[in-house]
Amino acid sequence: MSPTTALYGGHDYRAYESDTCSIARTLAIVGDRWTLLVLRDVANGVRRFDELADHLGIARNVLAGRLATLTRAGLVERSPYHEPGERARHEYRLSGPGRELMPILLAIMDWGDRNLDWPDGPPTVVRHAGCGAPIKVSVTCEEGHDLGQRPRLSLEPGPGSRVRSLFIRTIPCYNRQVMTQIIVLNGGSSSGKTAIARCLQSILPRPWLRLGVDDLIEALPPALLEPGSGIAFGQRGEVDVGGGFREAESAWMAGVAAMARAGTPVIVEDVFLGGAASQQRTRARLDGLDVLWVGVRCDPEIAAAREGVRGDRAAGMAASQAELAHIGVRYDVEVDTSHADPMDCARVIAARVT
């Protein structure tokens, strides 16, 4: 019996869904450096947006995304304040569930104090405000036993556990398990697909290629960049697609499928201008492959603002495609980049990749 099997009370730990886990669900909220540092600072009294941005040295858009995530998760609460002569603003305070994360932060700090190199000693000493003694982080059982720094634990399936439907018991089994071969990111222009795709490339364990419809358009001959048979863009962001472009697109997607079948997984960035009909065409070209369909949504006004900043799109394209690209499309997972950070979105998607 392997150690993993023994650890789960006689059950094979690998037979249970990895995502059905309190650790996995918690990390989906707080599982990155900036989120934990925001929680640390808020707990230590740095509660206003400008103060947090200055103390952490974090980009303001990233900070806004982290605070929005923590607020939605109920870990921080917004409290209004008003400085004389200025508009009303909000400061952030830990909620009850947020304060319950403090032992975790203390455990991380304790580990760093003991295992990282601090020539002059730990940079911070935390004491009990009641008696002044240094804080000690420990793990105890309900009987009061202190389990020490390297506790021996036994696990067993809880009432919320879920058995994997496609668990393969033979070891090694990786060549027999169905693995995601293509991730299709569908969303309107300036919805954030490319940023998410790059984040996915950085966190997924296998090397993934990133290809998008923009790559296809850049590779087209001049004859297919004109109205009629090719693809053309109007002054207000409208897109006119002809038969010649469709043929080139079909051949291009066949090439993408061939790469995936040859063993190279691919992230495809696309805009389903025809909604469900576009997905149906793409699904036919990727027939036989394990595809993860991802909807990348964004508020039309926010997408339009991004469009104005980038300067390489016709005004109106982002707003017109924001909802159009999703009409009738069926997804395995959806993300909204209106206020979420690309890495947060990528982690949500990566959790669904097999």
Provide the CATH number for the domain around residue 345: 3.40.50.300
Query: What confidence score (pLDDT) does residue 110 get?
Result: 92
Q: What is the mean pLDDT of residues 64-87?
A: 88
How far apart CA 97 and CA 126 sit, in angstroms, is 21
Q: Which domain holds residue 233?
A: 182-350
Query: What confidence score (pLDDT) does residue 9 get?
Result: 56
Examine the domain organization and report whether 222 and 330 are in the same domain: yes
Q: Give me Rg for the CA atoms of the chain.
A: 25
Enter the pTM of the model.
0.52
Catalytically active residues, by annotation: 214
The pLDDT tens digits of the residues spanning 194-216 come to 999 999 999 998 899 999 998 99
Examine the domain organization and report whether 189 and 305 are in the same domain: yes
The pLDDT tens digits of the residues spanning 285-296 come to 999 999 999 999
Residue type, 68: A
Extended strands (E) in the chain: 76-81, 89-94, 182-186, 209-212, 231-233, 239-241, 266-270, 291-297, 333-336
How many independent structural domains does the chain possess? 2
The answer to whether position 172 is within a domain reads no
Compute CA distances 51 → 74, 248, 339, whole Å.
21, 52, 20
| Domain edge (last residue) among 81, 115, 149 | 115
The answer to whether position 133 is within a domain reads no
Provide the CATH number for the domain around residue 111: 1.10.10.10
8 Å CB contact between 230 and 242: yes
| Domain edge (last residue) among 115, 141, 163 | 115
Examine the domain organization and report whether 193 and 326 are in the same domain: yes
How far apart CA 138 and CA 149 sit, in angstroms, is 7
The pLDDT tens digits of the residues spanning 270-284 come to 999 989 999 999 999
3-state secondary structure of 39: helix
8 Å CB contact between 329 and 279: yes
Examine the domain organization and report whether 108 and 226 are in the same domain: no
| Domain edge (last residue) among 115, 135, 163 | 115
Examine the domain organization and report whether 204 and 336 are in the same domain: yes
Examine the domain organization and report whether 107 and 233 are in the same domain: no
The answer to whether position 101 is within a domain reads yes
Examine the domain organization and report whether 109 and 187 are in the same domain: no
How far apart CA 254 and CA 286 sit, in angstroms, is 7
How far apart CA 257 and CA 240 sit, in angstroms, is 25
Examine the domain organization and report whether 314 and 216 are in the same domain: yes
The answer to whether position 140 is within a domain reads no
**Which band of pLDDT confidence, cut at 50, 70 and 90, is reported for residue 61?**
confident
